């Protein structure tokens, strides 16, 4: 099984102190930082783009930016995100008609490629060809576009279906995940845990990160 990875979602951070917030999370044990890029088209919200990612990359040595591209035409932004220091470029399957070609373009820029599916998209939409080409598969457990939504338990079986087909892939869950909901995700086979409010809203983020990682380790030991 791939290693447990905790990727705090900066959507829940203090954007006025973004670089410091990212450093703080890494100090508390986060392996990745989940950067939500929203364009106001694919989702109704606007967040950050390549210029902000570039500043964070320069200001936070060693950061692994897990870039979740909630954008229309994800093909357009591959070069910008790569130039800004993105380590993983995760696009939505619903936003492109040629996912394998896009995965190849991401790899050409030396980034890992992730494929995300929204709550109403079945896991079967990630074909064996797409899954084999990608480095990471992301199952959204809320509707993309804003933080603080309630966890959708009905999305969890998709994690199990993908884990059965792709035993060696990183499988990420994102949306409403925290200490109360992580066990279901970990049991289904997710090894990359995105949590925003649960970590950034805590007085003891280090403990929350450790709790999330422990849930994955415990589930992996059982399977």
- What pLDDT is recorded for position 170? 98
Domain total for the chain? 1
CB atoms near residue 173 (< 10 Å): 28
Determine whether the annotation assigns residue 148 to a binding site: yes
- What pLDDT is recorded for position 121? 98
Determine whether the annotation assigns residue 197 to a binding site: yes
| Tally of CA atoms within 13 A in the half-sphere of 33 that contains its CB | 29
- What pLDDT is recorded for position 1? 85
The model's pLDDT over 139-176, given as tens digits with 9 standing for 90+, comes to 999 999 877 789 999 999 999 999 999 999 999 999 99
Owning domain of residue 60: 5-222
Determine whether the annotation assigns residue 66 to a binding site: no
Q: Where are the beta strands (DSSP E) in the chain?
A: 5-8, 33-38, 65-70, 88-92, 112-117, 136-140, 170-174, 192-195
DSSP alpha helix (H) spans, 84-140: 99-108, 128-133
User: Which of 74, 5, 54, 59 lies closest to 34, judged by CA?
Assistant: 5
Determine whether the annotation assigns residue 34 to a binding site: yes
pLDDT in tens, the chain (223 residues): 899 999 999 999 999 999 999 999 999 999 999 999 999 999 999 999 999 999 999 999 999 999 999 999 999 999 999 999 999 999 999 999 999 999 999 999 999 999 999 999 999 999 999 999 999 999 999 999 877 789 999 999 999 999 999 999 999 999 999 999 999 999 999 999 999 999 999 999 999 999 999 999 999 999 8
Determine whether the annotation assigns residue 145 to a binding site: yes
- Is pTM, for the whole model, over 0.95? yes
Determine whether the annotation assigns residue 201 to a binding site: no
Task: Indicate which CATH number applies to the domain containing 112.
Answer: 3.20.20.70
Q: Which residues are catalytic?
A: 36, 174
């Amino acid at each position: 099984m791939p290693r447990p990875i905790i990727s705090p979602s900066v959507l829940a951070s203090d954007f006025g102190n973004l670089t410091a917030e990212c450093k703080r999370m890494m100090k508390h044990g986060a392996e990745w930082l989940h950067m939500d890029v929203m364009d106001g088209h694919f989702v109704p919200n606007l967040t950050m783009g390549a210029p902000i990612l570039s500043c964070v990359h320069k200001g936070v040595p060693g950061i692994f930016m897990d870039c979740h591209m909630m954008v229309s035409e994800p093909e357009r932004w591959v070069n910008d995100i790569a130039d800004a220091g993105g380590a993983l470029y995760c696009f939505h399957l619903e936003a492109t008609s040629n996912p394998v070609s896009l995965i190849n373009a991401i790899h050409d820029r030396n980034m890992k490629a992730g494929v995300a599916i929204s709550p109403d998209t079945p896991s079967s939409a990630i074909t064996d060809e797409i899954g084999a080409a990608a480095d990471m598969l992301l199952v959204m457990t809320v509707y993309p576009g804003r933080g603080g939504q309630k966890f959708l338990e009905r999305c969890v079986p998709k994690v199990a279906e993908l884990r059965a087909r792709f035993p060696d892939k990183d499988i990420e869950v994102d949306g409403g995940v925290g200490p109360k909901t992580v066990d279901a995700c970990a049991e289904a086979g997710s090894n990359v845990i995105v949590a925003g409010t649960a970590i950034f809203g805590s007085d003891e983020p280090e403990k929350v990160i450790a709790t999330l990682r422990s849930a994955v380790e415990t589930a992996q030991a059982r399977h």
